[in-house]
Every structure is written in structure tokens, then in C-alpha cells.
Amino acid sequence: MSPHPESLIDGIATRLQRFPPPLLNLILGSMLSKARTFAQHVVPAVIKPLRVLWNEMIGFVYLVFGVIVSFRVWREHESGESPGMVAMGSGFAAILLYFGVTSFLRARKINRT
């Protein structure tokens, strides 16, 4: 049977009242300072690779869709589809390919900094 959250908090508060306030402030202040320092060093080191990975994954998805659309547009061009549809499909494929390439370049730039 687990204790109720209220009784757990009351128990912790009762134990903390044993310490004199200046000592308690010193202990908690030191712990918060160390936690803040830890977060300042570790969080950027974790976020940076995640951003690189995200940009690489999105770049891959855009490139795959761009290649698929490009082949589809090429088949429509070969079958004699209207030039407007081919031009619109080509523009869409170019945008997807552009987003894919720039996403990989952005990932490389993030990795270098």
C-alpha cells in the first residue's frame, strides 16, 4: 500500500524542518546551482544532434517524394499529358528536391557549429 501524496509531502516537510534555515538555503541553493549548470552543459549537447537528425530525416523524406514526383512527371510528359500539368508537376518536384537538399545543408551547418 503506497502512502498518500499529501502524507508523503508532509513527511518531507517535517524532515526538512530539522535543518536550520541558513543551512537549508545553502543546501538547496547549491543543488539548484549544480542542476542549472548541468542543464546548461548537457541540454545543448543533446539538442544539437537531435536537430541534425531531424533535418536529415526531413531532407530524406523530401528527396524521396521529389524523386517519386519527378518520375511521375516524366511518365506524364512521355505519354503526352498537357504541358501545363507537366510544368506544374515539374515545379512541385523542383520545390521538393530544393527543400530536401537545403535540409541536408542546414543539418551540415548545424553539425559544424
Cell of 104: 541536408
pTM tops 0.75, yes or no:
no
DSSP three-state, residue 103: helix
Contacts with 85 (C-beta within 8 Å, 6 or more apart), sequence order: 76
Over residues 64-79, the mean pLDDT reads 96
- Of the listed ranges 26-30, 60-64, 69-73, 88-92, the least confidently predicted one is 26-30
Average pLDDT in the chain: 87
How confident is the model at residue 3, as a pLDDT?
A: 56
How far apart are the C-alpha atoms of 1 and 59, rounded to whole Å?
Answer: 51
pLDDT in tens, 7-57: 777 777 777 677 777 766 777 777 778 888 888 889 888 999 999 999 999
Give the Cα separation of 17 and 10 in Å (integer): 11
Angle subtended at Cα 63 by Cα 59 and Cα 67, rounded to the nearest 5 degrees: 175
Query: Model confidence at 96, in pLDDT bands (50, 70, 90)?
Result: very high
Q: Report how far Cα 13 is from the mean position of its chain's Cα atoms.
A: 38
Residue 88's pLDDT is: 96
> Which residues, 6 or more positions from 103, have their beta carbon under 8 angstroms from its beta carbon?
55, 56, 58, 59, 62
Helix (H, G, I), strand (E, B), or coil: what is residue 81?
coil
